[in-house]
């Protein structure tokens, strides 16, 4: 894991410093002269050769010091990221929960009624969910449920500390927007795996022995079909933890994805490096979690 | 008769009922939170350290200077208790300070804070550095008097002291000591609202400063009485235009700036909303490189100017004509500095003339690298099509601001870039007269005119010098002025008292409960 993080850190440092862009120029505004920019750059220590900045930065990283944000001087990078974690975590859990429940249920129903109108109907809906761009879906949901029938907020975020219901009301539309694509993926994967499992002899035997249909599907079939679905859920979880950039932007949610994009535009190097490092850690930990869940679902698996 | 009487009574009641809300809203209401969607987070709230307009939208509610501008651009005292006492040789300005002023940290403001702030501004701010080259010293005479001594007469001193964007607002001395050069991370001022928190990439919260001592003169621009009716102002930096518009329509935000102009027709008649077209605040320019590449040749620059069709360019790039205007001046029409000098060279749309000039220049189709940011790209594209007709080989490159600002620092890499120059009360403070901007404009005549403009105390003489400078711009073409632009603002109809001026500010604004 340490090696992965080191490689990711070095890569992002090099890539960001190869890009044109200068935080001092952004700080001073578009009407600043080159002379003003050079002076501020020197004050901020950004005029040092890149290799010296790299040595400084590596030294700090090894000591676990991610440094301070350029645009929010009094805030350390972990502090800035922590500020954005709550929104990202809640949005992820909410939309992933929605996607998992609806996706697995739809996939199971479609597989157990294979070739029926339900199967075709579910699959049509999931195809549409994948095909609709989430920025369009988000804007349509805002138009429908925040402007035409104003029952939910159009944008923004209310922290959990200001009340659970208020927080949830801000997450409903973004979660649906975000869940749409994941629902389709999970449903299709569940359906395919279930169809595969339902053709096995032991399922036929269970049915022949008179075991109840629902018991056969959920106890015998789903448990054996779920492992690839868990992989998809795990990957979606890791993806979302890195921030759902488009959804966070459409709904102005102060999450990690939006932080990353804004930091790239302002060339806030320490924050960009910190966020990428955080995403790498999230991916690694979630992959580990998925592996552990595999062994719980299927005790035959060993590592 | 009875029927007529009943009808009249009903009509009076109806009139009273329907006119009640309108009448009621004219009375200011205290309390509430105003949520404001601006187009991005400001880079910093340290006004000394930036010229970014966004910084003033927030910080203009927090900080004040010794003097400030009225709507018409007159200079009035703000933290000073009166206009300065100027010595006969016009080199010494003695400024009395108001005694009752407190900073947001509770400390009383004295001349030590003013001296520290002016000195820091002279070291940190680009305008400050320009002015301090002509200042001998800033000294403290007593607790409530500051003396500025000039090396030579300098006509822009008072305008500089009254300026807010990149201007010498007053900080506590300890802030100036703690952040002598780097942008400050603590925002303590004397204004009607005080800084509470800045959640990165989310929002900035200000709250009413109960210790604020308002002037008792009538409110006028940044001068006079400033009342903080609202409990809090919360600024959200939202770069996505639909989110700002939907947010106000859906009631999540109370105010949005930089609303797309093509939304005007749809929004202007919405009964729950109010639209505001800002006064012209800036003008688009194409800055040309006078030091490197094909644009080093004056005739090539003149040819580019000759092709300009302002109406076509502005319509393509900025939409409906109510949001822009054609004007050759380096100051806005609303300012006393407005001038038509050199206008014959403006808005020529003369392709044949451009071809002749290019021939005289010996131009052989060398590539002209032109950089444009997102806001200016469309109008640059429209201008490019005319230039192409004249035979200019334009390589128009669209890029985000960070890349453009960074590339701009190396004049060997580009020949033109699109930008905007904001209006200032004194033309010497605008980028239009800044000879170091872009690749720099090394022109002794322009430098002499600039110096004379700054040292000359009389308005008439200064105005004449500005006219000459403008004529020189149109003959030497270090940049091409396109057109003045305004922007669309939107609020809920619960918001009252908003002064639709050049910059946003929210003192004297209240909101229905």
Q: In A, residues 123-162, which contact B (CB 8 Å cutoff)?
A: 139, 142-143, 146-147, 150, 153-157
Residues of A in Cβ contact (< 8 Å) with B253 = 155-156
- Extract the tokens encoding B182: 């780097």
Least-confidence region, from A50-54, B38-42, B429-433, B476-480: A50-54
Residues of A in Cβ contact (< 8 Å) with B129 = 36
- The closest of A263, A87, A46, A80 to B40, measured between CA atoms, is A263
Averaged pLDDT, A61-69: 84
CB of B119 within 8 A of CB of B140?
A: no
Pairwise CA distance, residues B322 & B268, whole Å: 13
Residues of B in Cβ contact (< 8 Å) with A156 = 236, 247, 252-253
CA B163 to chain centre: 10
Query: A269 in contact with B at a CB cutoff of 8 Å?
Result: no
Query: A84 in contact with B at a CB cutoff of 8 Å?
Result: yes
CB of B291 within 8 A of CB of B336?
A: no
Question: A150 to chain B nearest CA, in Å?
Answer: 7
Say if the Cβ atoms of B49 and A36 lie within 8 Å: no
Question: A129 to chain B nearest CA, in Å?
Answer: 22
Say if the Cβ atoms of A20 and B406 lie within 8 Å: yes
Task: Give chain B's count of helices (H) and strands (E).
Answer: 15, 21
B158 confidence band (pLDDT: 50, 70, 90): very high
Query: How far apart, in Å, are the Cα atoms of A155 and each of A81, A182, A247, B190, B393?
Result: 21, 22, 10, 33, 45
Question: A264 to chain B nearest CA, in Å?
Answer: 9
Pairwise CA distance, residues A124 & B388, whole Å: 50
> What is the model's pLDDT at position B20?
42
Residues of A in Cβ contact (< 8 Å) with B420 = 30
Who among B52, B198, B203 is closest to A29 (CB)?
B52
| A176 against B155, higher pLDDT | A176
Question: A162 to chain B nearest CA, in Å?
Answer: 15
CA Rg value for chain A = 24
Pairwise CA distance, residues A60 & A55, whole Å: 9
Say if the Cβ atoms of A34 and B250 lie within 8 Å: no
Averaged pLDDT, B197-217: 93
> What is the model's pLDDT at position B141?
96
In three-state form (DSSP H/G/I as H, E/B as E, the rest C), the secondary structure along B191-237 is CCEEEEEEECCCEEEEEECCCCCCCCCCCECCECCCCCCCCEEEEEE
**What is the ipTM, given to two decimal places?**
0.78
Other CB atoms within a 10 A radius of the CB of residue B26 amount to: 8
B24 confidence band (pLDDT: 50, 70, 90): very low
* 3-class DSSP state of B81: coil
> What is the model's pLDDT at position B424?
85
> What is the model's pLDDT at position B126?
84
Question: B120 to chain A nearest CA, in Å?
Answer: 14
Averaged pLDDT, A37-42: 82
> What is the model's pLDDT at position B25?
53
Query: B365 in contact with A at a CB cutoff of 8 Å?
Result: no
Query: B182 in contact with A at a CB cutoff of 8 Å?
Result: yes
A98 confidence band (pLDDT: 50, 70, 90): very high
> What is the model's pLDDT at position B1?
43
Q: What percent of chain B has pLDDT over 70?
A: 95
Pairwise CA distance, residues B156 & B171, whole Å: 22
Looking at every residue in chain B, the average pLDDT score rounds to: 91
Who among B200, B203, B419 is closest to A259 (CB)?
B200
**Per residue in B386-426, pLDDT tens?**
999 999 999 999 998 888 988 998 999 999 999 999 888 88
Who among B44, B199, B252 is closest to A156 (CB)?
B252
- The closest of A244, A237, A213, A3 to A111, measured between CA atoms, is A213
**Per residue in B355-374, pLDDT tens?**
999 999 999 999 999 999 98
> What is the model's pLDDT at position B156?
86
Count of all residues that appear for chain B in the document: 513
Pairwise CA distance, residues B102 & A40, whole Å: 30
Query: B205 in contact with A at a CB cutoff of 8 Å?
Result: no
In DSSP terms, A273 is beta-bridged to: none
For B62, residues 6+ apart whose C-beta sits below 8 A from its C-beta are: B45, B104, B187, B189, B191, B193, B194, B195, B206
Q: What percent of chain B has pLDDT over 90?
A: 78
CB of B218 within 8 A of CB of B238?
A: no
- The closest of A12, A43, A14 to A27, measured between CA atoms, is A43
Query: A30 in contact with B at a CB cutoff of 8 Å?
Result: yes
**Per residue in A181-219, pLDDT tens?**
888 889 999 999 999 998 889 888 988 888 888 888 888
CB of B211 within 8 A of CB of B227?
A: no
Q: Which of A19, A20, A170 to mutate to test the interface with B (most CBs of B within 10 A)?
A: A20
Query: B74 in contact with A at a CB cutoff of 8 Å?
Result: no
B248 confidence band (pLDDT: 50, 70, 90): very high
Concatenating the DSSP letter of every residue in A178-216 gives: HHHHHHHHHHHHHHHHHHHHHTSHHHHHHHHTT--HHHI
In DSSP terms, B485 is beta-bridged to: B282, B324
**Per residue in B419-464, pLDDT tens?**
999 888 889 889 999 999 999 999 999 999 999 999 888 889 999 9
Other CB atoms within a 10 A radius of the CB of residue B374 amount to: 12
Answer whether residue B17 shows pLDDT above 90.
no
Say if the Cβ atoms of A72 and B250 lie within 8 Å: no
Answer whether residue B3 shows pLDDT above 60.
no
A302 confidence band (pLDDT: 50, 70, 90): low
B12 confidence band (pLDDT: 50, 70, 90): very low
> What is the model's pLDDT at position A36?
81
Say if the Cβ atoms of A28 and B50 lie within 8 Å: yes
Q: In A, residues 86-115, which contact B (CB 8 Å cutoff)?
A: none
Say if the Cβ atoms of A26 and B126 lie within 8 Å: no
Looking at every residue in chain A, the average pLDDT score rounds to: 87
Residues of B in Cβ contact (< 8 Å) with A265 = 400-402
**Per residue in A158-175, pLDDT tens?**
999 989 999 999 999 999
CA B381 to chain centre: 25
Query: B302 in contact with A at a CB cutoff of 8 Å?
Result: no
| B314 against B317, higher pLDDT | B314
Answer whether residue B16 shows pLDDT above 50.
no
Q: What percent of chain A has pLDDT over 90?
A: 27
> What is the model's pLDDT at position B19?
42
- The closest of B501, B455, B45 to B276, measured between CA atoms, is B501
In three-state form (DSSP H/G/I as H, E/B as E, the rest C), the secondary structure along B260-281 is CHHHHHHHCCCCCEEEEECCCC
Averaged pLDDT, A26-50: 81
A243 confidence band (pLDDT: 50, 70, 90): low
Pairwise CA distance, residues A5 & A15, whole Å: 15
Question: A184 to chain B nearest CA, in Å?
Answer: 26
**Per residue in A262-300, pLDDT tens?**
888 888 888 998 998 888 888 888 888 888 888 888 777
Query: B263 in contact with A at a CB cutoff of 8 Å?
Result: no
């Amino acid at each position: 894991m340490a090696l992965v993080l080191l490689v990711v850190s070095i890569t992002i440092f090099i890539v960001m410093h190869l890009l044109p862009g200068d935080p001092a120029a952004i700080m001073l505004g578009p009407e600043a002269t080159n002379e003003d920019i050079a002076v501020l750059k020197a004050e901020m220590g950004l005029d040092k050769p890149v290799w010296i900045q790299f040595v400084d930065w590596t030294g700090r990283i090894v000591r676990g010091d991610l440094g301070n944000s350029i645009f929010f001087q009094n805030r350390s990078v972990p502090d800035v990221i922590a500020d954005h974690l709550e929104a990202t975590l809640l949005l992820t859990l909410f939309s992933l929960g929605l996607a998992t429940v609806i996706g697995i249920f739809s996939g199971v129903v479609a597989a157990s009624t294979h070739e029926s109108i339900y199967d075709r109907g579910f699959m049509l809906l999931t195809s549409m969910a994948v095909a609709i761009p989430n920025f369009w879906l988000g804007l349509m949901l805002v138009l429908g449920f925040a402007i035409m029938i104003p029952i939910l907020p159009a944008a923004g975020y209310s922290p959990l500390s200001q009340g659970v219901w208020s927080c949830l009301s801000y997450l409903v539309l973004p979660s649906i927007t975000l869940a749409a694509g994941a629902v389709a993926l999970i449903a299709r994967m569940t359906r395919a795996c279930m169809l595969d499992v339902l053709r096995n002899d032991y399922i036929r035997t269970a049915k022949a022995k008179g075991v109840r249909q629902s018991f056969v599907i959920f106890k015998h079939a789903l448990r054996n079909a779920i492992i690839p679905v868990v992989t998809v859920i795990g990957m979606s979880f890791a993806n979302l933890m890195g921030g759902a950039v488009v959804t966070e932007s459409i709904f102005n949610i102060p999450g990690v994805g939006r932080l990353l994009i804004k930091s790239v535009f302002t060339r806030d190097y320490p924050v960009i490096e910190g966020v990428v490092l955080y995403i790498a850690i999230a991916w690694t930990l979630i992959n580990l979690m998925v592996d552990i869940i595999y062994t719980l679902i299927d005790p035959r698996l060993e590592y | 008769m009875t029927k007529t009487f009943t009808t009249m009574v009903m009509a009076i009641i109806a009139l009273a009922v329907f006119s009640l809300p309108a009448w009621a809203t004219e009375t200011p209401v205290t309390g509430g939170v105003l949520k404001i969607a601006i187009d991005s987070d400001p880079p910093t709230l340290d006004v000394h350290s930036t010229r970014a307009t966004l910084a003033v939208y927030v910080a203009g509610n927090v900080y004040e200077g010794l003097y400030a501008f009225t709507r018409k651009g007159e200079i009035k005292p703000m933290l000073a208790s009166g206009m300065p006492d100027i010595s006969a040789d016009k080199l010494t300005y003695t400024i009395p300070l108001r005694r009752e002023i407190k900073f947001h940290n509770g400390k009383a403001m004295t001349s030590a804070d003013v001296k520290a702030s002016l000195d820091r501004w002279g070291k940190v701010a680009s305008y400050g550095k320009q002015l301090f080259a002509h200042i001998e010293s800033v000294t403290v005479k007593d607790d409530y008097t500051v003396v500025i001594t000039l090396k030579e007469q300098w006509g822009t001193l008072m305008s500089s002291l009254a300026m807010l964007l990149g201007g010498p607002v007053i900080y506590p001395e300890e802030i100036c000591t703690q952040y002598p050069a780097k942008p400050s991370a603590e925002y303590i001022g004397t204004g009607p609202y005080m800084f509470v928190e800045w959640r990165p990439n989310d929002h900035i919260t200000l709250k009413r400063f109960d210790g604020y001592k308002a002037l008792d003169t009538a409110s006028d621009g940044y001068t006079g009485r400033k009342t903080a009716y609202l409990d809090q102002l919360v600024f959200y930096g939202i770069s996505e235009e639909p989110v700002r518009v939907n947010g106000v329509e859906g009631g999540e935000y109370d105010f949005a700036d930089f609303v797309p102009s093509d939304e005007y027709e749809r929004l202007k008649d919405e009964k729950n909303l109010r639209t505001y077209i800002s006064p012209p605040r800036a003008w688009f320019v194409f800055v040309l490189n006078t030091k490197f590449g094909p644009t080093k040749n004056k005739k090539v620059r003149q040819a580019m100017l000759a092709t300009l069709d302002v109406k076509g360019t502005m319509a393509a790039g900025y939409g409906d004509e109510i949001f822009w205007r054609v004007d050759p001046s380096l100051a806005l029409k609303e300012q006393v500095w407005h001038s038509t000098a050199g206008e014959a060279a403006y808005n020529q749309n003369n392709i044949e003339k451009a071809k002749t000039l290019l021939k005289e220049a010996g131009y052989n189709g060398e590539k002209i690298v032109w950089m444009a940011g997102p806001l200016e790209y469309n109008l640059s594209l429209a201008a490019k099509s005319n230039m192409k007709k004249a035979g200019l080989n334009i390589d128009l490159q669209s890029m985000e601001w960070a890349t453009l600002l960074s590339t701009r620092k190396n004049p060997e890499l580009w020949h033109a870039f699109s930008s905007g120059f904001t209006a200032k009360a004194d033309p010497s403070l605008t980028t239009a007269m800044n000879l170091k901007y872009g690749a720099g404009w090394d022109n002794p005549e322009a430098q002499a005119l600039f110096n004379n403009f700054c040292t000359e105390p009389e308005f008439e003489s200064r105005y004449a010098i500005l006219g000459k400078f403008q004529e020189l711009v149109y003959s030497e073409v270090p940049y091409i002025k396109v057109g003045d632009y305004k922007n669309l603002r939107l609020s809920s109809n619960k918001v009252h008292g908003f002064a639709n001026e050049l910059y946003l500010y929210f003192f004297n604004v209240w909101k229905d409960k």
